[in-house]
Structure 1
Amino acid sequence: MFVSLFCTLKSVSNEVKKWRPVGADRGFTFLQYNLTIAYHRTNLLARYGRWSANSNGGVLETLGFKEGFRVDVDVPESTWMQAPGFHDILILNTGHWWWAPSKFDPVKSPMLFFKKDQPIIPPLPPDRGLDMVLEHMIPYVEERERSGAIKFFRTQSPRHFEGGDWDQGGSCQRNQPLSTEQVEELFSVKNNGTNVEVRLVNEHLYKALKGSSFKILDITRMSEFRADAHPSTAGGKKHDDCMHWCLPGITDTWNDLFIELLNSIKGRS
């Protein structure tokens, strides 16, 4: 979405300077309009890092944990910690990594959640950990946002692996959009398929955002149909890339939707 937005803006103005706000992975300022856009990479929104058992023991050690990933549910990742106080428009999202056994193996390297610098006991499953992170990160932004800021939370970008996950021989070889029936077969929570995390995470997002001042940027449903819009074998990976999107493509439509929502909000103000 960020790359698509940059390309759209650059088609209007070539007076661009590379400049990154604190923590941003990428950033550009369009000098003619004094407009800065930035991409702050964060996988879980919350701060996380490797955890290993202490030789002196501890609560987690007594439960048999030897290693894993510590996730501080009440501390934002440093990459975006200062973003709410800098940007006038924010688009947040999180999701794929919460249901990623290849990243956080539930046995060998589980997610271990901490709050106020102490492990949460009993240990939480990832879905409950996601709830707690959202419970803390949403008000974190609201308490630090700039005056008049507009905030969106983007729903999940669907993957389209068929026949297994990315490391299990899964592929995406379709050359046309899915039918409604095919979408339900691939993404239905009841089927518990490879790509089920899309709707599962969205359920948690909608619940957490209820009553907040965030606007929801729902890109999921339209994107579920586009199994044909991924790089697939042209992604330059050893496996089919069924998660990222081709450009030009569906992410341009996401930005069209974003601009329409932005205009409707500004029109009411």
Structure 2
Amino acid sequence: MAKAQPIVLGSTWGIRNIFQSLVAILTTTLVVTSIYLTQEGEQWSNERNKLHSLSKCNLFSGKWVFDNESYPLYKEQHCTYMSDQLACEKFGRKDLSYQNWRWEPHQCNLPRFNATALLERLRNKRMVFVGDSLNRGQWVSMVCLIESSVHPTLKSMRTIANGSLSIFKAEEYNATIEFYWAPLLVESNSDDPVKHRVPERTVRVQAIEKHAKYWSDADILVFNTFLWWRRRAMNVLWGSFGDPNGVFKKVEMVRAYEMALRTWSDWLEFQINRNKTKLFFVSMSPTHQKAHEWGGIRGDNCYKETDQITEEGYWGNGSIPSMMRVVENVIENLNGRGLNVELLNITQLSEYRKEGHPSIYRKQWEPLTEEQLLNPKTYADCIHWCLPGVPDTWNELLYTYIFYR
């Protein structure tokens, strides 16, 4: 009689356990994947909603909101390349609330500035600011905004072209953020980056190639010009400087400005690689040199100002609508010719910030006279801007256009 074989349960239960384990693992994987995809979907949905919101929003109509938790976006003393012209805290300013204001458009919120994301976008690229000292201030602001995200041994600054071109480089990204001094965009007798104060300003309104060769291959170009045109008339030269056959003529300010911008726009149309280069023009930066315009004492200016102008739509006489219209018309004409130039309209939002200027809190490039020392408002700088401050917002707007518009 055959022996009864014992029933072996181990192998059956082992298979069952393995099966149950696989089911558990598969279930867990499906749950985790579902959660991940849900989060990814929510993130994409949020990005899509943000993109839709920003695409429909007028970024330049809004209000300033006090925010001392998120702002400033960097510390003045921590910016390696801060300019003494803009370092108000360093030169004695005690009221630092000008650093804590955030621009909030009426219909949306600006995205948070992400230095690493911008550096990644700029990998192997050139961003070049071209214009006057106000555009240089925006360039300094941009360098301050991103340089803390670059290792100290992997960043550098150099100046070439007789001092006209300053180049900040983030080595790890092979990216440069540059500033080129061309206060009138076209060629002029104020083109020397140091010795540009001349009694009679003269422009060659049809000549731009001397400057343009330094920024013709940039990937992002940010232009401005306004401040140096503010005079009733300008000497316009047809011909070359030093040419005895050159023709000079006094031309009314707005007309000369338009002639120069037409030369600039023609150059862009025929020389810019439309598949490569993004183009921006920053509108006029307001000055606050006449306090009576905002209800202050006649004869005063931005000196000792510590609060903003709260009247929505305030517009001072330092900003000239006819020149703004010239810019708008030239850009509209370019867009009609198939070349897209974005206008960063920083004028209105900056008009409210009468307290944001250096005033007397900056390096003085020439010794002050006794009369000036006795009356500080006579040498107050109500044109440029303290950093951190208003130009950081200009760059937040630029950042928004680069990523979301």
1:48 to 161, 171, 188: 188
Higher share in helix: 2
Q: Distance in 2 between matches of 1:236 and 1:182?
A: 33
CA offsets 1:109-164 (integer angstroms, 9 cap, x no match): x622134555366x421211111011111121232224410000110111111259
2:282 to 131, 154, 160: 154
In the TM superposition, what are the counterparts of 1:84-233 in structure 2 within 5 Å? 84-100=215-231, 111-115=234-238, 118-119=246-247, 123-146=250-273, 147-163=275-291, 170-172=300-302, 173-180=304-311, 183-184=314-315, 187=316, 193=317, 195-197=318-320, 199-212=321-334, 213-233=340-360
Asked if the contact 1:22/1:82 (under 8 Å) is kept, the reply is no
Corresponding residue pairs, total: 227
Residue 181 of structure 1 deviates from its aligned partner by 6.0
Asked if the contact 2:280/2:343 (under 8 Å) is kept, the reply is yes
Residue 180 of structure 1 deviates from its aligned partner by 1.8
Residue 236 of structure 1 deviates from its aligned partner by 3.7
CA offsets 1:22-73 (integer angstroms, 9 cap, x no match): 57431111011110111111121111228xxxxxxxxxxxxxxxx9443111
Q: 3-state SS of the aligned residue for 2:181?
A: coil
Q: Does the alignment pair 1:31 with 2:171?
A: yes
Q: Distance in 1 between matches of 2:401 and 2:183?
A: 25
Moved more, 33-42 or 144-153: 144-153
Q: Does the alignment pair 1:75 with 2:207?
A: yes
Which structure is larger by alpha-carbon Rg, 1 or 2? 2
Asked if the contact 1:95/1:156 (under 8 Å) is kept, the reply is yes
Task: Give the corresponding residue for 2:387.
Answer: 247
Asked if the contact 1:84/1:144 (under 8 Å) is kept, the reply is no
Q: Distance in 2 between matches of 1:262 and 1:182?
A: 27
Asked if the contact 1:170/1:240 (under 8 Å) is kept, the reply is no
Q: Does the alignment pair 1:11 with 2:148?
A: yes
Q: Distance in 1 between matches of 2:160 and 2:400?
A: 26
Asked if the contact 1:84/1:141 (under 8 Å) is kept, the reply is no
Any stretches of 5+ residues in structure 1 without a counterpart? 51-66, 101-105, 188-192
CA offsets 1:189-232 (integer angstroms, 9 cap, x no match): xxxx4x144x3432221122112121111111111101111111
Output the amino acid matched with 1:171: N
Task: Give the corresponding residue for 1:53.
Answer: none
Q: 3-state SS of the aligned residue for 1:26?
A: strand
Moved more, 149-158 or 208-217: 208-217
Output the amino acid matched with 1:235: R
Residue 183 of structure 1 deviates from its aligned partner by 2.3
Asked if the contact 2:219/2:278 (under 8 Å) is kept, the reply is yes
Distance 1:32 1:128, change over 3 A: same
Q: 3-state SS of the aligned residue for 1:148?
A: coil
Q: 3-state SS of the aligned residue for 1:142?
A: helix
Asked if the contact 2:229/2:257 (under 8 Å) is kept, the reply is yes
Output the amino acid matched with 1:9: I
Asked if the contact 1:112/1:119 (under 8 Å) is kept, the reply is no
Q: Distance in 2 between matches of 1:133 and 1:20?
A: 26
Output the amino acid matched with 1:5: M
Moved more, 172-181 or 19-28: 19-28
RMSD: 2.6
Distance 1:257 1:201, change over 3 A: same
Output the amino acid matched with 2:307: Q
Q: Distance in 2 between matches of 1:224 and 1:3?
A: 21
Q: Distance in 2 between matches of 1:70 and 1:17?
A: 35
Task: Give the corresponding residue for 2:16.
Answer: none
Q: 3-state SS of the aligned residue for 1:233?
A: coil
Any stretches of 5+ residues in structure 2 without a counterpart? 1-137, 191-198, 241-245, 293-297, 335-339, 369-378
Distance 1:140 1:163, change over 3 A: same
Q: Distance in 2 between matches of 1:150 and 1:181?
A: 32
Q: Distance in 1 between matches of 2:209 and 2:201?
A: 14
Output the amino acid matched with 1:18: M
TM-score, normalised to structure 1, is 0.75
Instruction: Report sequence identity in percent.
Output: 25
